[in-house]
Structure formats: structure tokens, C-alpha cells
């Protein structure tokens, strides 16, 4: 089951990365004045490349749901860290460029760090459903974090800083979407489509998912993939881990296991930041 969880999460990460690259290409044709406005989505819907990108996102959501049914949130979501190297590796052929040696080293660091961190933490346990007493503070804190990040982004011009803030907001929304999706998917798996339709989490993850897509489009419009993706992937993994522990009562190893866990996290962060800076994406995708 855990192997299938990781496999489905990997496929989901690759599918989401493909969708991200295509959406970035589409956002480059959208006027800057439409940022953080509903008109942004109206402009994007008219572009076939954006619709293809959304197909990638939908595919990712399906594989993500399968991963969340097969294993804990704290295991499935961190695998999406690999969305960054997937996205950059997909973007490079479009630009007719190659990944430098240092970039491959960064990818290796991310993969090694992820394996080390997850093998050391060994996320397991938890419940299929969570009580409202856990959902209410989790949703409130996530909503507050998104509002603060978006508020800070509104006062910054287009560029890396704005992309990072909006990418962080999208990361929190993505993590909450995954947490709600896990509950809905488990309801469907246990009791069928009727239970899926009557679960409030189903409508919650649909709403959060739409918000996450909107925030991602704005992050991609504000700056390059190399700017927004690290905040998105690292933030999603971190918030998902916390939600898995606090909402679903999932467990990770502690005591001396914290040392290799932190070493794995350090490798992931170092690889992510170096990869985002080492890949030459100036003028990416025609910008």
C-alpha cells in the first residue's frame, strides 16, 4: 500500500509539473493589469495551452487522491517536492536548453534528501477521518496564512518576491486541498459515491482547489517558475506534514531519528534553492 502511495504521488507530481509549465506559458500572454482579478481566469480560459495545463492538473488530482487513499498525508504530499525538478526538466526542452551538471547534482540532492527524510520519519498511522475540533483550527490557520501572503503580495510589483509570496499562498491552499481530499477520498472508498457527495470536505476541497489554481496562476504571472516553484513545493510539503500530524493524528519518528530527518530536509532545501538558481530560464517560454 505504501509503495503504491509513493508511486501514485510520483505520477501526480509529474502530471502537475507538466500542467505548471503549460500554465506558465499561458500566463505570459495575460496583461499584468489583470493580476489578482477574475479577468485573469477569463483570459486564460480562451487559451488552448492553458486548457491542456488544466488537464495535467486534473490528472495530478486523480493520482493524488489515489495516493492519499493508499497512505498517510505526511507521506504522499512530500513526494510532490519532486514537482520542481520535473517542471524544470519539462521546461528545458521547450527552451532548447540543457540542464548543467550542477543542476543534475541539485536534482540528486533533492531525491536523496527526500528518500532520507521519509525513510527516517516513516510516516504512518492516523485516522481516515478527523473530528471538527481538529478541522476548525486547521482551516482557520490556513486561511489566515493565505490572506497574509496575498496581502503582502498585493503591495509588491511583479517579480520574484511577488511570485514567492503567491507561490507560498498557493502552497498552503494546495496542502489544505489535499487534506480535505483525503477525507473525501476515504469516504468514497469506504461508503461509495453517496458518502462522497454528502461529505462537507468534498465541497471544501473543490473550493480550496479553485483558490489554489487561481493563486498559482497569479504566482506564475508574477515571476518565473524558478521563482514560484520552490515556495510552492517546499511550502506544500511542510504544511501537509503538519496537517497530517495535527488533523489526522499521523505519526513520524522522533528521538534520534530527528537527526537524519533534518539532514534530509537540509538536502532538499539546498537542492531546491540551487536548482532554481542554476537553471538558465531568463526569457523562459518566450517571456
For the chain, 287 residues long, give each residue's pLDDT as a single digit of tens. 778 889 999 999 899 888 878 877 777 777 777 666 777 778 788 888 888 888 988 898 889 889 988 888 888 888 888 887 887 777 777 656 677 778 788 889 989 999 999 999 988 878 888 999 999 999 999 999 999 999 999 888 878 888 889 999 999 999 999 999 999 999 998 888 899 999 999 999 999 999 998 998 888 888 777 777 788 888 888 899 999 999 999 999 888 999 999 999 999 989 888 877 766 544 454 44
Q: Could you give the residue ranges of the DSSP H alpha helices within the chain? A: 2-27, 38-45, 48-70, 73-76, 83-95, 101-121, 132-154, 160-191, 193-198, 200-222, 225-246, 258-278
Report the predicted TM-score, pTM, of the whole model to 2 decimal places. 0.82
Q: What is the DSSP letter of 279?
A: S
pLDDT at 34: 65
Q: Could you tell me which of 250, 2, 253, 251 has the C-alpha nearest to residue 128?
A: 250
Q: Could you tell me which residues come within 8 angstroms of residue 93 by beta carbon, excluding any fewer than 6 positions away?
A: none
pLDDT at 200: 94
Phi and psi of 250, rounded to 5°?
-75, 160
Alpha-carbon span 118 to 115, nearest angstrom: 5
Contact 279, 103 (CB under 8 A): yes
CA angle 88, 100, 109 (to 5 degrees): 70
Structural domain boundaries in the chain:
2-280
Amino acid at each position: 500500500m505504501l509503495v503504491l502511495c509513493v508511486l501514485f504521488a510520483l505520477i501526480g507530481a509529474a502530471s502537475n509539473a507538466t500542467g505548471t509549465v503549460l500554465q506558465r506559458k499561458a500566463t505570459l500572454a495575460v496583461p499584468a493589469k489583470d493580476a489578482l482579478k477574475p479577468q485573469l481566469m477569463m483570459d486564460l480560459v480562451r487559451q488552448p495551452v492553458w486548457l491542456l495545463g488544466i488537464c495535467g492538473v486534473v490528472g495530478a488530482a486523480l493520482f493524488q487522491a489515489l495516493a492519499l487513499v493508499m497512505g498517510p498525508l505526511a507521506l504522499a504530499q512530500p513526494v510532490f517536492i519532486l514537482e520542481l525538478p520535473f517542471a524544470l526538466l519539462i521546461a528545458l526542452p521547450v527552451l532548447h536548453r540543457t540542464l548543467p551538471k550542477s543542476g543534475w547534482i541539485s536534482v540528486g540532492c533533492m531525491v536523496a534528501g527526500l528518500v532520507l527524510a521519509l525513510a527516517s520519519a516513516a510516516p504512518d498511522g492516523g485516522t481516515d477521518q478527523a473530528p471538527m475540533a481538529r478541522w476548525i483550527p486547521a482551516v482557520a490557520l490556513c486561511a489566515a496564512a493565505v490572506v497574509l501572503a496575498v496581502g503582502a503580495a498585493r503591495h509588491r510589483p511583479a517579480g520574484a518576491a511577488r511570485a514567492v509570496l503567491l507561490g507560498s499562498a498557493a502552497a498552503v491552499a494546495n496542502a489544505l486541498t489535499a487534506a480535505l481530499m483525503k477525507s473525501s477520498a476515504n469516504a468514497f472508498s469506504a461508503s461509495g459515491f453517496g458518502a462522497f457527495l454528502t461529505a462537507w470536505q468534498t465541497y471544501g476541497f473543490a473550493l480550496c482547489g479553485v483558490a489554489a489554481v487561481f493563486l498559482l496562476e497569479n504566482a506564475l504571472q508574477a515571476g518565473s517558475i524558478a521563482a514560484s516553484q520552490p515556495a510552492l513545493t517546499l511550502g506544500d510539503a511542510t504544511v501537509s506534514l503538519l496537517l497530517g500530524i495535527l488533523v489526522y493524528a499521523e505519526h513520524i519518528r522522533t528521538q534520534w531519528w530527528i537527526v537524519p530527518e533534518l539532514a534530509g530536509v537540509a538536502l532538499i532545501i539546498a537542492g531546491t534553492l540551487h536548482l532554481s538558481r542554476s537553471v538558465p530560464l531568463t526569457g523562459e517560454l518566450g517571456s
